[in-house]
Structure 1
Amino acid sequence: MSKERILVVEDQPDISSLLKIYFTSQGYEVFTAMRGSHALEICSKTPPNLALLDVNLPDMEGYDIGRALRASPRTRHIPIIFLTARGERRDRLVGLGEVQAQYYIVKPFDIEEVHTIVKNQLDEARRKNQLHPVTNLPTADLIGDHLRLLLSAQGWSMALLHINGFETFTQSYGSVVGEDVLKFTALLLNEAVNELGGNDDFVGHMVVGPAFVLTSSPERIKTIVERLLTRFDEEIGLHYNFRHRKQGYIEITDDAGGTRQVPLMALSVGVVTSEDGPFYDIRELSETVEETRQRALHEAREQGKKSWVVFGRSR
C-alpha cells in the first residue's frame, strides 16, 4: 500500500522543516508549499490525503486555499487542519465554519498532539472508504455520492475507463510495478482535467480493479478523453522492459501450457451523457456506461487498435 500523503502549507522554513521531518519519520509522504498558489498546484496534480494549512501566507490566506479545496469535487473530501498563530474567535469561526476545516490549532502546538489528530482523521477517511489506497483518488462512497448528484442534473457526461491487460502485466511484473501504472494513469487523468477541464469536473478510482471514473461537461469530455488516450498509448511502454516494449506484447503461458501473446496495456473508455438517460438510479447509470465501455473494448479488438473510446446513444 502506498504511503499516505500530507500537504504542509507553511511559509516559516523552520516550522515547515519540523513538520516535514517529523511526519516523514512517521511513515508519511510529505509535500511542502510556502505559497498558496504552489499548494493549489500540488492539490490539482497529486491530491493529498490531508492538508495542514497556515493562515498567513505571502500570496493568499490559508482560508482561500481551504475554500478552493472545498469548491472542487476533486478535492472537497480532503481533511483540512489549520495550524496558525491567528487564534481570535472570528478566525476560528471562518476556519471551522466557513471553510469547514476538521480542526483549528493555534501555535505554538504540540507536534505529537497534531500527529494524533492527523492519524485519527486519516483513519476516519479510511473507515468511510473515501480514498483509493494507491492513487488517493475518491472511491466508493465519494463516487456514489457524486453520481447521485448527476442523476438529478442535466448537461453532464460520465466516462468509465479501464486499463486492458493490467492483470497480465501485474502477473509478469509484480504488484508494486502495477501500483506505479495506477498512479501513472491517475496522474494523466488529473493533468488532462487540469489543462482541458473545469472546476466542476470529477475524477475517481473504482475500489476494485484498474477502473477510473471521469465526469465533465459534454463539450469538454471528448477533448479530455482523447488527450488521455493519446498520452497513455505514447507513454505506457515506459513501464515495460526493453524487449516487451520493442515487440509490443508479453508472452504468457496459458492453462493448457501453450504460449500466448498479450498486447501492451491500453485503455477502453465508455462515455454516456445526461441525454442518454433518463437514469433512475446509480446502478442503471453504471450498467449503461459499462456496456458502452465493453463496446469500446470490442471495437478496439476488431479493428486492431490500442486505446479506444465509444460514446453513448447521444453521439
Structure 2
Amino acid sequence: MGSPSMPENDSNKPGSPNDRSAAPRFDALPGSDVLWAIPPGESRGRILVVDDSRVIRKLVDTCLRANGFDTVSAENGTEALQKASDVQPDVILLDIDMPSMSGFEVCRQLKGSPDTSLIPIIFLTARDDTENVVRGLELGAFDYVRKPFNSLELCARVGVARRLKYLVDLLSERAMLDGLTGIHNRTYLDRRLRESLDRQRRYDSHAALVLADVDHFKQVNDTRGHVIGDEVLRRIASTLRRTARESDTVARYGGEEFAILLPEQTLSSGYLFAERLRQEIEQMTITHRGTTFSVTVSLGVVTTQETDPKGIDDLLACADEALYHAKKNGRNRVCLWNGHEAVQAEATG
C-alpha cells in the first residue's frame, strides 16, 4: 500500500514564512541564459529591500540570493534613502505601508534626487486597488509585486528591472564620452567638478584642475588636414589617460582643449603633474606622409584651495586665466593661478 498523500498546505507555498523548500531559480527558466549572460558566480546585481517587517525582508533576501542577486536591507524610509545614496543599488524593492515615512514619500524623494532618480523601484505591497497602483506609477515606480508574493514572479520582475538599469547605465555612460577621443566629455567634467566642490564644502577636501590647450592646432589642421588633426587629439587623449591616476578625471574640454581633475592634490603637486604631462606630449611624435612632427601644449593649473570658488565657473575661469598666461608668454609651458593672479611656474624653454 502506498503512503497516504499529505494535504496541500498554503503556508508552504513559495513566498510564505513556512516555505522550507529551495527558492525557485529564475535562471532555470527557458531562455533565461539570453537575458542573463553573466558568468557563474558573479552577482546579477545589488537589490535594496525596504520593508518594516523583518520576516518579509528575510524572505525576499533568501529568494533573491538564491537567484544570484546581492541584497541590502532597510527597515524604514529614512534608512532606505541613506542606503540608496550610499550603496547605489541596481533595483529597489519598496514597501508602501511603513511607519513615519510611507513608501510613496520614499519613492518621491528617490526620484527627486539626481543620485538615485534612475534606479528602478518596484513596490512590494499588500495593496491591490487601482488608485494606489496608479499613484505609485505616477511617482516613477517601475513595477508592482503584491504580497504574498510568488518567488519565481518576484525574481523575474526584479530581473527585468535590473536589465533596464544596465541599459540605462550603458546609455548614460556613453552619453558622457567624447566621440572622437573616447575620454569623458564636458558634461561629465562639469558633474565631477560640482562633486569636488561639494566635497570641499563638506570635508575641507581640495583638488587641482589642469587645463591644457594644443599650441598652434589650427596650423596643424590647415597644413596637414583635419584627419591628422583628429589623430593628434586622440594621441594626446591617450597620453593623458596614461599619465593620470585612476582617481583622476580626464576630459575633452572643447576643441583642442583638455581638462584633468586631480582629487586631493595641492598647487605644487598639480604643477608637477602638468609639467610631466607637458614633457610627455612634447616628446610624442606623429608620422604623416613620410615626415615626422610633434606638437606642444600650454597648461594652466588651479586648485580649490587657492581660489575658494563659489561654483565651477569660478574655478574654470581661474584655470583659463592661467592657461592664457602660458599662451601669452611663449606657449609650451605651465602657469599657475596663485589665488591673486596667473604666474609662470618655471621657464620650460
With the length of structure 1 as denominator, give the TM-score of the two structures: 0.51
Provide the C-alpha distance between the structure 1 equivalents of 2:248 and 2:195, rounded to a whole number of angstroms.
20
Provide the C-alpha distance between the structure 2 equivalents of 1:313 and 1:22, rounded to a whole number of angstroms.
53
Q: CA deviation at 1:110?
A: 1.1
Provide the C-alpha distance between the structure 2 equivalents of 1:32 and 1:64, rounded to a whole number of angstroms.
18
What is the identity, as a one-letter code, of the residue corresponding to 1:52?
L
Matched, 1:62 2:103: yes
Give the root-mean-square deviation of aligned CA atoms. Answer: 4.1
Aligned residue for 1:216?
194
Provide the C-alpha distance between the structure 1 equivalents of 2:153 and 2:246, rounded to a whole number of angstroms.
46
User: Is this contact kept in 2: 1:292–1:312, CA < 8 A?
Assistant: no
Q: What SS does the corresponding residue of 1:59 show, helix, strand or coil?
A: coil
Higher relative contact order (CA 8 A, sep 6+): 1
1:124 counterpart (164, 168, 180): 164
CA displacement, residues 62-116 of structure 1 (integer Å, 9 cap, x when unaligned):
111111110011111000100101222221111011x121112222221210111
Provide the C-alpha distance between the structure 2 equivalents of 1:66 and 1:227, rounded to a whole number of angstroms.
32
User: Is this contact kept in 2: 1:55–1:61, CA < 8 A?
Assistant: yes
User: Is this contact kept in 2: 1:8–1:19, CA < 8 A?
Assistant: yes
Q: CA deviation at 1:130?
A: 3.9
- Map 1:138-287 onto structure 2 (within 5 A): 139-141=173-175, 143=176, 160=189, 213-214=191-192, 216=194, 220=198, 223=201, 227=205, 267-268=247-248, 286-287=253-254
Q: CA deviation at 1:5?
A: 0.7
CA gap 1:124/1:268 in 2 versus in 1, 3 angstroms? closer
CA gap 1:79/1:89 in 2 versus in 1, 3 angstroms? same
User: Is this contact kept in 2: 1:96–1:102, CA < 8 A?
Assistant: yes
User: Is this contact kept in 2: 1:6–1:52, CA < 8 A?
Assistant: yes
CA gap 1:266/1:140 in 2 versus in 1, 3 angstroms? closer
User: Is this contact kept in 1: 2:302–2:318, CA < 8 A?
Assistant: no
Gaps of 5+ in 1: 132-137, 145-156, 161-201, 203-212, 231-261, 272-284
CA gap 1:221/1:10 in 2 versus in 1, 3 angstroms? closer
Aligned residue for 1:183?
none
CA gap 1:288/1:313 in 2 versus in 1, 3 angstroms? farther
Provide the C-alpha distance between the structure 2 equivalents of 1:22 and 1:228, rounded to a whole number of angstroms.
44
Provide the C-alpha distance between the structure 1 equivalents of 2:257 and 2:86, rounded to a whole number of angstroms.
27
Provide the C-alpha distance between the structure 1 equivalents of 2:261 and 2:51, rounded to a whole number of angstroms.
47
Larger Rg: 2
Q: What SS does the corresponding residue of 2:144 show, helix, strand or coil?
A: strand
What is the identity, as a one-letter code, of the residue corresponding to 2:153?
E
Provide the C-alpha distance between the structure 2 equivalents of 1:286 and 1:19, rounded to a whole number of angstroms.
46
What is the identity, as a one-letter code, of the residue corresponding to 1:32?
S
Q: What SS does the corresponding residue of 2:131 show, helix, strand or coil?
A: helix
Q: CA deviation at 1:294?
A: 7.6
- Map 1:282-301 onto structure 2 (within 5 A): 286-287=253-254, 291-293=258-260, 299-301=271-273
Provide the C-alpha distance between the structure 2 equivalents of 1:114 and 1:289, rounded to a whole number of angstroms.
51
Matched, 1:87 2:128: yes
User: Is this contact kept in 2: 1:50–1:78, CA < 8 A?
Assistant: yes
Provide the C-alpha distance between the structure 2 equivalents of 1:31 and 1:38, rounded to a whole number of angstroms.
11
Give aligned-pair identity as a percent. Answer: 24
Matched, 1:75 2:116: yes
Q: What SS does the corresponding residue of 1:214 show, helix, strand or coil?
A: helix
Q: CA deviation at 1:57?
A: 0.9
Matched, 1:312 2:290: no
Aligned residue for 1:33?
74
Provide the C-alpha distance between the structure 1 equivalents of 2:206 and 2:49, rounded to a whole number of angstroms.
30
CA displacement, residues 8-44 of structure 1 (integer Å, 9 cap, x when unaligned):
0011111110111111121111001111111111011
CA displacement, residues 187-224 of structure 1 (integer Å, 9 cap, x when unaligned):
xxxxxxxxxxxxxxx9xxxxxxxxxx525399747546
CA displacement, residues 238-272 of structure 1 (integer Å, 9 cap, x when unaligned):
xxxxxxxxxxxxxxxxxxxxxxxx9995744579x
Provide the C-alpha distance between the structure 1 equivalents of 2:203 and 2:246, rounded to a whole number of angstroms.
13
Provide the C-alpha distance between the structure 1 equivalents of 2:131 and 2:106, rounded to a whole number of angstroms.
18
User: Is this contact kept in 2: 1:51–1:79, CA < 8 A?
Assistant: yes
Aligned residue for 2:86?
45
Q: What SS does the corresponding residue of 2:145 show, helix, strand or coil?
A: strand
